Amino acid sequence: MTAIWGILNVTPDSFSDGGRYLDVEHAVAHGLLLREQGATILDIGGESTRPGAERIGADVEQQRVIPVIERLAESGVPVSIDTLNAATAAAAVHAGARIVNDVSGGLADPEMRAVVAESGADFAIGHWRGPSADMYAHADYRRVAREVAGELQERIGEAAAAGIAPSRLIVDPGIGFAKAGAQNWDVLRGLDEIVALGPRVLIGTSRKRFLAETLQADAEASVSEARRDLATAVTSALALRAGVWAVRVHDVAATRDALAIAHAWEG
Ligand code: PMM
């Protein structure tokens, strides 16, 4: 069964749900709703990584996420912390998180691998080529899926060297991170190269710009959230067929249904 990571961004500025769950009660209620809808893991983030986003301090990030993690972990749901900061990862695991989701794969903070190794948490490592502020400057590839797989292989080696067992690793090709438009489709088409690396594979297509670009030829027109969620659910079903272990989504109910249909098809 494909795992569903429900996204809970406790931020004022994430690109699709920024500002909705900034207070603890709203965030906890939304997390519980996502679990009811079928999320197997809740991925909680306090710093936006949308294109162009500016960095915030780890103290601000922790003020946003730690109370939410404490409450949700207490309720029994497995929690992941989406962070680039080792200090936030350590505090989150202390508060009950079981997975550290680092979209930079350990590159953004030199302390990250050691903190994760020590914590005993699982480690989700993303493909990343630099901070969100200018990540598209690094979107230069000859064979995207192959290069992404090669760079993830390096991250896997670094994590192993830091003492993180391969069974604790999850790899993510980083859809939208230093990848423009069609390059994201090249990655998805080449997912077998990512699956072949060995660790569990996670993908995050949810509501991302490349989906909207595909649905709407006019880049200036906006594509509604409902249409982005439907497109995301389709990618979830296709991800299942590609051998992906988990999908990270905002609309958990739609992905749950899409996965149920894809599972029935598989038999
Ligand atoms: N994308 C975003 C944030 N965190 N984590 C993982 N593992 N994979 C992703 O693709 C990913 C992520 C950006 O999306 P959001 O602002 O909607 O959370």
* CB distance 159 to 106 below 8 Å: yes
- This prediction has a pTM of 0.95
- Atom 2 (ligand 1): residue with closest C-alpha? 49
Active site residues: 208, 248
> From the CB of 209, is ligand 1 less than 6 Å away?
no
Which of 16-20, 52-56, 152-156 is most confident? 152-156
- The CA 267 to ligand 1 mean position distance, Å, reads 30
- Cα 165 to Cα 85, 99, 225, distances in angstroms: 21, 14, 38
- Cα 144 to Cα 41, 129, 193, 235, distances in angstroms: 29, 13, 11, 19
- Cα 106 to Cα 73, 130, 194, distances in angstroms: 24, 11, 18
Residue 163: pLDDT band (50, 70, 90) is: very high
Return the ∠ at Cα 32 (arms to 29 and 35), rounded to 5°: 150
Q: Find, among 105, 11, 24, the residue nearest to 50 by Cα.
A: 11
The pLDDT tens digits of the residues spanning 66-110 come to: 999 999 999 999 999 999 999 999 999 999 999 999 999 999 999
Taken in order 145, 146, 147, 148, is the CA torsion positive or negative?
positive
> From the CB of 14, is ligand 1 less than 6 Å away?
yes
pLDDT at 154 over 80: yes
pLDDT at 117 over 80: yes
The pLDDT tens digits of the residues spanning 1-17 come to: 899 999 999 988 776 67
> From the CB of 7, is ligand 1 less than 6 Å away?
yes
> From the CB of 126, is ligand 1 less than 6 Å away?
yes
What is the chain's alpha carbon radius of gyration, rounded to the nearest angstrom? 17
**What's the pLDDT at 217?**
62
Bridge-based pairing of strands 200-203 and 169-172 is parallel
